Structure 1
Amino acid sequence: MPENKHHAQRHVQAIKNHALTLVLLLIANTIGLFATTALAQTKDIVMVPMRDGVNLATNIYLPEGDGPWPVVLTRTPYDKDGADRSAATYNERGYALVSQDVRGRYDSEGENRPFETDIEDGYDTVEWIADQSFSDGKIGIFGTSAPGITSNLAAASAPPSLTAAYVTVAPDSLFYRSRFVGGVFKESHSGGWLRGQGVSEDVINAYRARAVLDEQWRATDFLFHRENVQIPVYNVGGWHDIYAEGSLHNFVYLQNEGHPEARGKQKLFMGAFGHGVLQGDLEYPGGGLINGDMEQQLRWWDYWLKDIDNGIMDEPPVSYYMMASARKGAVSDKNRVVHADSWPPQHELTRFYLQPDMSLSTEMPDASNASKTYQFDPANPVPTVGGQNLGQDVGPRDQREIGERQDYLRFETEVLEEDVVVAGHIDMELYVATDALDTDFVVKLVDIYPDGYEALILDYPLRTRFRDGQNAEDVKMMTPGEVEKLTINMWSTAQTFEKGHRIGVHVTSSNYPRFAVNPNNGAALDDMAAPAKTAENTIYFDSQRPSAIVLPVVSESLD
């Protein structure tokens, strides 16, 4: 490529990414990911060859004095020069820092296909570092969000020289279970991020149509390669983060079922933060990263890369923030960090049933025939108000902002006479019918405050054609008018619904732009021309069709 064309392309790319980069920097500073220190004085810039001949631009920051040193690596689509701000901290602690532009980004060669070559590229980069004179052969890899994803993928390639990883807010399955949730494309998160990476609308439309698990997803998704991870990984997640469930799943799998070299060596911290500044009238003191992210990360490197017995592996492997009543200026002392030997804590799965009078109760409904029908018009979707979003509109906003709508059903318990402590995975069992071949159902778990504030805790959808799964053989359309039981994966949380509050469950069929809107026409996912239709959707809540949210209720003390 001619040099002037290359620089022009970089300039356009930089403009496209400026807004997203600012958001991501805000995220990183919000959850304590950058050290406040002087910039590194010097760095070397090299082009590292990959196995196919593509060269990746790489910054190398070395401590003063003679090496070799242990090395920490980060691989990013957000510009390798972002490491300038933290390099001095690593160097002063005795670590060489390597920061690399991933393939097709900034100064690196190759085609930009986000995360589709990072297993191989991660392996090649680690082993290249191991061969350099500045490296003592012990290498750690770290990153937050996208660089966390590349860290996981590198670990899944099992490079012999990779010693440990520190991964903050990254999914267990980017393509299969995170880009699509319940088979529904995460429009504002995935679509918006891809646009910020310079991906064309045609390519984004092609991604949007790939909700069915295919061989390319299997070849490139961490979920299908995590059994190869042989190293200790410190996973950090946030309850209001876009990848909350992935942080949990990655820890639980590697700790209990992973490669023998990985089992029993994992750590997890789940805080009360999101992928950006939390919106709404709630705050969680101490809900950021444990001990400040940089210091905890350096303790991790000291133990695994320098063999310093600093006690980090003697501490409980799991720490998580128990959220509770948290209005700004009136935060309950039940908001706290809990330390544990495993996740989840002991609990009893407790069904809270939707009732004909729009209440929510642990008692089975006794009506023989009860239901509620609404019209779901794709041209008038329910607007997104908070949730696990990327960069903006993040967290436990007040769902009263949605207002009263015929397609938005609110169920709630009586005022709680005692605390209900929930910690673990949540499912929604929903009996439904529709007159469409395909439609969506969306469920929210809400903490309702005494003054009526409806704090969003979790919100998740299911596209009915994927009710049996996202493998090709699982996909089937609905039979109009036929009642079916859906199980909606509501992910996990740790939430104390305090005495005086109510537990709320909201049911609808859209949440836009958090999730793509179903046109209700049953057309192929890549058919953008088929006209949308209004669906008539029915929710059942009677003795024969008892819709319920299944909460993991903890009865014993967690302290």
Structure 2
Amino acid sequence: MKKFLLILFTLSSVATFAQRRGGGGPDAEYIKTNYTKYEYQVPMRDGKKLFTSVYVPKDQSKKYPIMMDRTCYSVSPYGADVYKTSLGPSTQFVHDGYIFVYQDVRGRYMSEGLFKEMTPELEVHKTKNDVDEGTDTYDTIDWLIKNIPNNTGKVGVWGISYPGFYTTASLLSRHPALVAASPQAPMSDLWRDDGWHNGAFFLVANFDFYPGFTNRQDDKPTQGRGRSFNITSNDGYDFFMKMGPMKNTNRDWYKDTVKLWNDILNHPDYDQHWKDRNVLYHLHDIKTAVLVTGGWYDAEDLYGAINTYKTLAKMNPKTPVYFTMGPWVHGGWARGDGENLGDVYFGGPTGPWYRENVEFRFFSHYLKGTPLGDLAPINAFETGANKWKTYKAWPPVEAAEKSLYLLPGGKLSFTAPAGTKETFDEYVSDPANPVPFTPNKTMGMSQDYMDGDQRFLADRKDVLSYTSDVLDKDVTIAGNIWANLNVSTTGTDADFIVKVLDVYPDTASNNKYTRPNVKMGGYQQMVRSEPIRGKYRNAFDKPEPFVPGKVTPVKWELQDVLHTFKKGHRIMIQVQSSMFPLIDRNPQKFVDIMKADESDFQKATHKVYTGKLHPSFLKVRVINDN
């Protein structure tokens, strides 16, 4: 379900993204000259056949390991005489010599079978008909090893986004020939990765994805692609406000024709439907070496990368598990230099370093036996300071937990509030006037919102801001952040969104990527943001209403960062209750939001408490604050 918005990327670019690592043009002629393409229908244990393209080096004087990408986005181009213009994770692989395999997963494009959204994995396979992505991977590897000449008997798998999920699932094949795998920006928990963030539905990331993604809903192989909606507006805020409640998506656009969209509308809670699609539950007894890769500014699958690594490391302590996080958007390490995101400059190229010194070295070592060198278990880019750091574990063991308190008067401090007086800040949240997530008109999920300047919200009365004193030393936060708010509301449901910002000094200079009419002096860079739908504050599978006026604790994870707030900067925390249309509107009434009527939407007054009696704070992990 990877949300490369089809507004921002053509469907064909989505379909081939995971195949175009490092760019396509420069290697096109080399591939035609040095590789031969074959196409096969590889049989699975239940009799279904999966369409598989295989590119074999023409030099057959030696044996080659296999690199495989299993995808739901098509292995096109089809035809043994029509070649991809790039192969493997990056250009280094093409010139080093591998057998490259691309496979349409079950139920997609030219493969037989019925497609299931993030196929539920089975712990036990009693009969040949008990199949999942693990068994399909096993059967594919077994067939390749036995039928493709001059292979070494070693297989590596990689994939980005949805193919990242299939890479994770490949680990569950537990085939002895699978010696290396790299899930990159992998979907891991469909409800938590792409659909909902702590129960808040990511609207623009999902709405226009499914029409193009759904090229077939039957067992009839086809090269045809789905067709995106014909939306003429470029103003997502206006478009979705006029569309109204979520149930209107079917009335006006989907027409009740796409099962995958109906699954979203019919399962807003984290029920068994979604729990079955959480691959993290199954990541035990893994022997394959793994490299998990993600980006700090991945608007789609930040959770997937971080939690795939953490789960693998915890459940498989004797298995080599590597983790790389860079200053990238979704898949940004695979292409381009990775020098900036929007106005924020990272000091130089970051993508090439990863491709050459981490990814290529990892696969080369485990598939060809080359030296691993000084490849650290953890390679993480420290934003703010703009430098690569290495660690033995994540979060770093040297990071000490501290609390960052929201204080009266819009203050922010590591010192807890004093006094006995009850204090709070309040604002009116109006679903008819939700807070925008970006200052620009867009129908897509502009990825630079992840580190975007928040000064455009300065006049909003429904955004609370808490700011530290000017820092007299660098403060580095490493690891996950937990919001701990004490709130009350006049409604029976509410979203709460916490944003962590790095406020630049007024003297900050522009850089070569600073856009016209933007000044980096006073820039309010978002470092991390994350919502929670309040009714899920105690359990994602058991929503419960707020009691109007009652002070209520709400706690949720903002996910991990590695960021240094430099001396002379300030730390800011913002709290708000909408972020539209990135997140759908909460009616602020305890109802099934996917079936809510326009009449259910109501204003509500929310209070955030800031005193000693009911403190609100963020738990952070600080490496160096002295």
TM-score range (shorter-chain normalised) is 0.7 to 0.9
Alignment check: 8 A CA contact 1:273 1:287 kept: no
The separation in 1 between residues aligned to 2:488 and 2:429, in whole angstroms, is 13
Alignment check: 8 A CA contact 1:374 1:538 kept: yes
1:54 aligns with 2:48: yes
Alignment check: 8 A CA contact 2:297 2:447 kept: no
The 1:476/1:457 distance shift into structure 2, 3 A limit, reads same
Deviation at 1:448, TM superposition (A): 0.6
1:433 aligns with 2:488: yes
Alignment check: 8 A CA contact 2:358 2:375 kept: no
Q: Which moved more, 1:182-191 or 1:104-113?
A: 104-113
Q: What secondary structure is seen at the aligned counterpart in 1 of 2:591?
A: coil
The 1:287/1:169 distance shift into structure 2, 3 A limit, reads farther
Structure 2: 5+ residue stretches without partners = 1-5, 78-82, 120-131, 216-253, 333-337, 506-520
Of 394, 412, 418 in structure 2, the residue corresponding to residue 343 of structure 1 is 394
The separation in 1 between residues aligned to 2:366 and 2:487, in whole angstroms, is 52
Question: 1:216 maps to what in 2?
Answer: 273
Alignment check: 8 A CA contact 1:74 1:98 kept: yes
The 1:403/1:208 distance shift into structure 2, 3 A limit, reads farther
- Map Cα deviations across residues 201-241 of structure 1 (whole Å, 9 max, x no partner): 74324314424333333333211111243211111111111
Q: Which amino acid aligns with 1:355?
A: L
1:81-92 matched pairs, under 5 angstroms: 81=76, 84-87=84-87, 89=91, 90=93, 92=95
Q: What secondary structure is seen at the aligned counterpart in 2 of 1:249?
A: helix
Deviation at 1:177, TM superposition (A): 4.9
1:516-527 matched pairs, under 5 angstroms: 516-527=584-595
1:69 aligns with 2:121: no
Question: 2:312 maps to what in 1?
Answer: 254
The 1:299/1:363 distance shift into structure 2, 3 A limit, reads closer
The number of aligned residues is 525
1:150 aligns with 2:220: no
Of 266, 281, 286 in structure 2, the residue corresponding to residue 229 of structure 1 is 286
Alignment check: 8 A CA contact 1:350 1:551 kept: yes
The 1:509/1:195 distance shift into structure 2, 3 A limit, reads farther
Deviation at 1:63, TM superposition (A): 0.8
Question: 2:73 maps to what in 1?
Answer: 78
The 1:44/1:394 distance shift into structure 2, 3 A limit, reads farther
The 1:219/1:424 distance shift into structure 2, 3 A limit, reads same
Question: 1:136 maps to what in 2?
Answer: 152
The 1:376/1:20 distance shift into structure 2, 3 A limit, reads farther
The 1:393/1:318 distance shift into structure 2, 3 A limit, reads closer
1:377 aligns with 2:434: no
The separation in 2 between residues aligned to 1:385 and 1:124, in whole angstroms, is 46
Question: 1:19 maps to what in 2?
Answer: 10
The separation in 1 between residues aligned to 2:577 and 2:522, in whole angstroms, is 23
Q: Which amino acid aligns with 2:429?
A: F
Q: Which amino acid aligns with 2:85?
A: R
The separation in 2 between residues aligned to 1:392 and 1:459, in whole angstroms, is 13
The separation in 2 between residues aligned to 1:499 and 1:554, in whole angstroms, is 15
Alignment check: 8 A CA contact 2:189 2:274 kept: no
1:109 aligns with 2:90: no
Q: Which amino acid aligns with 1:105?
A: R
The 1:188/1:359 distance shift into structure 2, 3 A limit, reads same
Question: 2:37 maps to what in 1?
Answer: 43
Deviation at 1:519, TM superposition (A): 1.7
Deviation at 1:442, TM superposition (A): 0.6
The separation in 2 between residues aligned to 1:245 and 1:527, in whole angstroms, is 27
Alignment check: 8 A CA contact 1:103 1:110 kept: yes
Question: 1:124 maps to what in 2?
Answer: 139
Deviation at 1:343, TM superposition (A): 1.4
Q: Which amino acid aligns with 2:425?
A: K
The separation in 2 between residues aligned to 1:201 and 1:168, in whole angstroms, is 34
Of 204, 207, 218 in structure 1, the residue corresponding to residue 261 of structure 2 is 204
Deviation at 1:394, TM superposition (A): 4.5
Q: Which amino acid aligns with 1:477?
A: P
The 1:198/1:16 distance shift into structure 2, 3 A limit, reads farther
The 1:433/1:293 distance shift into structure 2, 3 A limit, reads same
Q: What secondary structure is seen at the aligned counterpart in 2 of 1:360?
A: strand
The separation in 1 between residues aligned to 2:582 and 2:188, in whole angstroms, is 20
1:311-330 matched pairs, under 5 angstroms: 311-312=372-373, 314-324=374-384
Deviation at 1:173, TM superposition (A): 2.2
Q: What secondary structure is seen at the aligned counterpart in 1 of 2:315?
A: coil
Question: 2:575 maps to what in 1?
Answer: 507
Alignment check: 8 A CA contact 1:446 1:457 kept: yes
1:164 aligns with 2:180: yes
Alignment check: 8 A CA contact 1:235 1:268 kept: yes
The separation in 2 between residues aligned to 1:432 and 1:287, in whole angstroms, is 43
Q: Which amino acid aligns with 1:383?
A: P
Deviation at 1:110, TM superposition (A): 3.3
The 1:220/1:124 distance shift into structure 2, 3 A limit, reads farther
TM-score of the two chains, using structure 1 as the length reference = 0.86
The separation in 2 between residues aligned to 1:228 and 1:268, in whole angstroms, is 19
The 1:111/1:232 distance shift into structure 2, 3 A limit, reads same
Deviation at 1:340, TM superposition (A): 1.6
The separation in 1 between residues aligned to 2:303 and 2:576, in whole angstroms, is 22
Alignment check: 8 A CA contact 1:148 1:169 kept: yes
Deviation at 1:441, TM superposition (A): 0.5
Alignment check: 8 A CA contact 1:205 1:526 kept: no
Question: 1:352 maps to what in 2?
Answer: 404
The separation in 2 between residues aligned to 1:553 and 1:24, in whole angstroms, is 40
Deviation at 1:423, TM superposition (A): 1.0
The separation in 2 between residues aligned to 1:556 and 1:544, in whole angstroms, is 27
1:551 aligns with 2:620: yes
1:446 aligns with 2:504: no
- Map Cα deviations across residues 511-531 of structure 1 (whole Å, 9 max, x no partner): 122222212221124424362
The 1:378/1:300 distance shift into structure 2, 3 A limit, reads same
The separation in 2 between residues aligned to 1:17 and 1:354, in whole angstroms, is 37
Deviation at 1:363, TM superposition (A): 2.2
The separation in 1 between residues aligned to 2:581 and 2:19, in whole angstroms, is 24
Across the aligned residues of Structure 1 and Structure 2, the Cα RMSD in angstroms comes to 2.9
The 1:372/1:209 distance shift into structure 2, 3 A limit, reads farther
Deviation at 1:417, TM superposition (A): 1.5
The 1:220/1:521 distance shift into structure 2, 3 A limit, reads same
The 1:497/1:17 distance shift into structure 2, 3 A limit, reads closer
Alignment check: 8 A CA contact 1:209 1:525 kept: no
The 1:391/1:161 distance shift into structure 2, 3 A limit, reads farther
- Map Cα deviations across residues 415-460 of structure 1 (whole Å, 9 max, x no partner): 1111111111111111101122221101100001113211011110
Deviation at 1:485, TM superposition (A): 1.0
Deviation at 1:129, TM superposition (A): 1.9
Question: 2:325 maps to what in 1?
Answer: 270
- Map Cα deviations across residues 278-331 of structure 1 (whole Å, 9 max, x no partner): 6431111346336242664332222112223x124x53211111111xxxxxxx
TM-score of the two chains, using structure 2 as the length reference = 0.77
